[in-house]
Chain A
Amino acid sequence: MLSRVASSLYWLARNFERAETVARVLDFACLRSADFGGASPHDATTLRLLTIVGPKPPEGTFARREEALAYGIFSTENPSSIVSTIAIARANALGVRAQLSTEIWESTNRLWLYLSASSPGSVLREGPSHFLQRVRDACQAFAGISDATLAHDDVWDFIQAGRFSERADLTARMLAAAHGFDAPWPCWQQLLNLCCASEPFARLVPRLPSPVDVLEFLTFSPQFPRSIRFCIGEIDAALHRISGTAAGSYGNDAEKESGRLRARFDYTRVSEVLDAGTQVFAERTVASLAALSEALERAYFPRVPVG
């Protein structure tokens, strides 16, 4: 596979994953401000939520909910806005159109056309929640369509690597930011909602839950597809399928990083996380994932010229 193609597939998936999370976070922020009657000036939580999924917005940007929405959805200065991420995703899809199924391309293009036809005004008229739901549906459709219509060869493997790299990173960032979510909702319930995890959590952890259970679930659950451990397992598996190297060994730095991370998450107890401090642990995880991402880039799509 062309290095450029591998890179595009990887970033295509990462940006879709990010757009989905941004849509979820914004929806969450909207619902929260509805709780406060829509008037929570300079809402600190909205601000912190947006910071999880992207760069810190400029000081004093959001006097009103509409401004926060416009920034999170439409700002071209915000590389994590929905429009920015989907524009990147579409440009990547366009560059590798020949490798993608028609269904993937068309659903990507439809989402992009829908966003191009939207504006802050139209979002308010349509209802932000409805709009954000459509974006989330389209992003989830990307995940489903790519699973169902692509051959599960290295095209799909690079998509998997991108998707789970972004997901692991976002979950780790949520954990890092989680320590201070304010009342009245218990912090852990918010965190579960933000991670799309409340229902699976309720089903898989059937006793009266404690905050430590949430931490353990989001970090170590082998079944929940957004837990950091689950994501790292998928990245590691995809990388080994791509190279053909046997599981448990490594052929390049990316596999070495993913193997180490996998071992760390397979063989760590939640009490050890608490000992280290949740935030320290989460931040270290974010750094390790960044190192893995860089190693993957060096192994498969180096920017340096061939010498």
Chain B
Amino acid sequence: VLEFSNGYAIPRVFDELVDGAAGPRAHYVRLAQTLRSLDAEEFALRVQEINAALLARGVTFTVYSDTAGTERIFPFDSIPRIISAAEWERLERGLAQRVTALNAFLDDVYHRGRIFAGGAIPRDLVYSSRYFVREMIDVDPPRRTYVHVAGIDLIRDGTGNFLVLEDNIRVPSGISYVLENRDVLRRGFPQLFDGYAVRPVDDYPMRLLRALSAVAPAHVRDPAVVVLTPGIANSAYFEHTLLAHRMGVELVEGRDLVVVDNVVYLRTTRGLQRVDVIYRRVDDEFLDPLYFRVDSVLGAAGIMNAYRAGNVTIANAIGTGVADDKALYRFVPEMIRFYLGEEPVLPNVETYDCTDDAERRHVKANLERLVVKNVNQSGGYGMLIGSASTAEEREHFARLIDAAPRDFIAQPVIELSSHPTLVDGKVMPCRVDLRPFVLCGAEIDVPPAALTRVALRPGSLVVNSSQGGGSKDTWVIA
């Protein structure tokens, strides 16, 4: 029998499955029953098989710090996470609202800058962002859409409220795990699905293609869409392949592209073929050696001119990073109020601004109760979790903050909700987050496809794949 560990006797934080002494939450009752009926050894064996299958399939990511460029699987946990229909409905509204506001903000900062006049957001914070791209000023992307794909990171606080932790609106990844996790769980543990109407995720690639086609340059009738990948050495290469394959479009590398007279073409066995929409998974600075990094071979020379001439759509648009700069994160609720005249459905995590003298003093005095993040880094790199830090580390961060206050933000430690997870044959409460994906073409689309990342070390708060995290199949139920 699959046993819940002692950690479950007194849950310290909000648990997704167990509602304190009251037992399983309503939408988990059936799953908890099924889990109890499973044989623990057989369960563990099946989990091993699934992970072996993922390795053979090459559902892997590359660990950059590892010089051998080792490919690893993102460990899969077989106990699914369930989101009730009512909760999802609220998330959908909140996510659509947020991405609409972020798009409006980008359109504004690259045009008139109305929001600065009202004083809601300090102008210099935007212009000093390393992700602000001057070359985008007065460029009009089709449908004035900048963010075509967003991956918004959500967490729960101690009482179970969803908070937005991060907006990933440059080149968010993770959707391939959503698709693969569902596939392997359905094959490996069909019985878990008994009694649930789980909303399918496998139409995500078609929804993405629909969104991308809708933002083609206005004169194009039947747009040629491509996925641009940095290549096989990239950490998310598997995902690029999967999306291109399922959308039925070409997966291209920079060297496959050539720009002639401000039009982007593919080099093919039948000569040059025109490209209308580039779903790029290459960062801004590598896209065009003529404009950005001159040493980049991952983009194509002249692509920026073609973009500015309106001959090709790049998704996400260039320069979106300014809106997910961690230093601007705390102003997103202001953006929602300013552009939409609404209150945010999904609140932010309270965030301190280190450029403000008073707040910086507060941050430095309370480091052991805070999480400090470097605004220029992501993936769990370059951060301090106060509660798990040494005095030396805290001193080090205090010096770093003084040296470059613009580079740091601080937030209270949010415990994150826990979810039953199999660790060494036992079911343990491990912390999880949630990354739903939002598409924006002709309109906002929130597919019921979200990635749950789980910290596989019980007690750990870091869920990133590069830091020993795993993932779960995530069910949005009808």
What B residues does A106 contact at CB under 8 A? 56-58
Q: How many residues of B contact A (CB 8 A)?
A: 24
Flag if A113 contacts B255 (CB, 8 Å).
Answer: no
Instruction: Tell me, yes or no, whether B99 is within 8 Å of chain A by CB.
Output: no
| Interface of chain B residues 179 through 214 with chain A (CB within 8 A) | none
CB-CB under 8 A for A3 and B55, given A91-B232, A306-B258: no
| Residues of chain A lying within 8 A (CB to CB) of residue B272 | 306
Q: Would you give the 0/1 interface string for A67-111, flagging 1 where the beta carbon is closer than 8 Å to chain B?
A: 000000000000000000000000100110110001001100110
For chain A residues 183-203, which have a beta carbon within 8 Å of chain B? none
In the docked arrangement, what's the CA distance between A1 and B268, Å?
5
The smallest C-beta distance from A116 to any residue of chain B, in angstroms, reads: 10
CB-contact partner of B237 in A94, A109, A305, under 8 A: A94
- Name the distance in Å between A220's Cβ and chain B's nearest Cβ: 31
Contact A98/B253 with A306-B267, A306-B272 known, Cβ cut-off 8 Å: no
Which residues of the partner chain A approach B228 to less than 8 Å between Cβ atoms?
Answer: none
Residues of B within 8 A of A2 (CB): 250, 252, 256, 266-269
Contact in complex: A3, B58 (CB < 8 Å): no
Contact across chains for B269 and A97 when beta carbons are under 8 A apart: no
A/B pair count, beta carbons within 8 Å: 56
The residues in B between 86 and 137 inclusive whose CB is less than 8 angstroms from any CB of A are: none
A interface residues, tally (CB under 8 Å): 22
Q: Are B231's CB and A3's CB within 8 A?
A: no
* B interface footprint on A98-139 (CB within 8 Å = 1, 0 otherwise): 100010011001100100000000000000000000000000
Closest Cβ of chain B to A105, distance in Å, is 7
A6 part of interface (Cβ distance < 8 Å) = yes
CB of A12, distance to nearest CB on chain B (Å): 13
- With the chains together, A233 CA to B269 CA distance in Å? 21
Interface: B150 (CB within 8 A): no
Chain A residues in 8 Å Cβ range of B241: 97-98
Tell me whether B245 is interfacial, beta carbon within 8 Å: yes
Whether a CB of chain A sits under 8 angstroms from the CB of B410 is no
Answer yes or no: B428 CB below 8 A from chain A CBs.
Answer: no
Q: Is the CB of A4 within 8 A of B56?
A: no
Would A113 and B56 count as touching, CB distance under 8 A?
yes
Main secondary structure of the interface of A (DSSP, over half): helix
Residues of A within 8 Å of B266, CB to CB, are 2
B76 CB, nearest partner CB in chain A, Å: 17
CB <8 Å contact, B237 and A4? no
B478 in the interface, Cβ–Cβ < 8 Å?
A: no
In the assembled complex, how far is the CB of residue A154 from the closest CB belonging to chain B, in whole angstroms? 7
Give the Cβ gap from A107 to chain B, nearest Cβ, in Å: 9
Does A300 make an interface contact (CB < 8 A)?
yes
C-alpha spacing A2/B268, complex, angstroms:
4
Select from chain B the residue with minimum beta-carbon distance to A154.
B269
A273 at the interface (CB under 8 A from B): no
Which A residue's beta carbon lies closest to that of B255?
Answer: A4
CB contacts (< 8 Å) of B245 on chain A: these are 97-98
Instruction: Determine the distance from Cα of A301 to Cα of B270 in the docked complex, in whole angstroms.
Output: 10
B165 in the interface, Cβ–Cβ < 8 Å? no
Asked if B269 contacts A98 (CB within 8 A), the reply is: no
Q: Nearest-CB distance from A54 to chain B (Å)?
A: 25
- Are A110 and B267 in touch, CB under 8 angstroms? no
Q: Select which of A3, A91, A95, A102 is within 8 A of B267 by beta carbon.
A: A3
- State the CA gap A111–B260 with chains docked (Å): 42
| Chain A residues whose C-beta falls within 8 Å of the C-beta of B231 in the assembled complex | 95
Query: Does the CB pair B57–A6 fall under 8 Å?
Result: no
Check B267–A4 contact: CB distance below 8 A. Answer: yes
User: What string of 1s and 0s marks CB contacts (under 8 Å) between B249-291 and chain A?
Assistant: 0111101101010000011111010000000000000000000
Complex partner residue of A3 from B237, B251, B260, B269, CB under 8 angstroms = B269
Question: Which residues from A are CB-within-8-Å of B55?
Answer: 113
* Residue of B232, B256, B268, B269 with highest tally of chain A CB at under 10 A: B269
Query: Which A residues lie at the B interface, using CB under 8 A?
Result: 1-4, 6, 91, 94-95, 97-98, 102, 105-106, 109-110, 113, 154, 242, 300-301, 305-306
Q: A3-B268, A4-B256, A242-B269 are in contact. List 14 more A-B contacts (CB 8 A).
A: A1-B269, A1-B270, A2-B252, A2-B256, A2-B269, A4-B253, A95-B232, A97-B58, A97-B245, A98-B241, A98-B245, A113-B55, A113-B56, A154-B269
- A-B contact list, 9 entries, CB within 8 Å: A2-B252, A4-B253, A95-B231, A97-B251, A98-B241, A98-B251, A109-B56, A113-B55, A306-B272
- CB within 8 Å of A: which residues of B? 55-58, 231-232, 237, 241, 244-245, 250-253, 255-256, 258, 260, 266-270, 272
9 A-B pairs with least C-beta separation? A98-B245, A97-B241, A98-B244, A98-B251, A94-B232, A300-B269, A3-B267, A1-B269, A6-B269
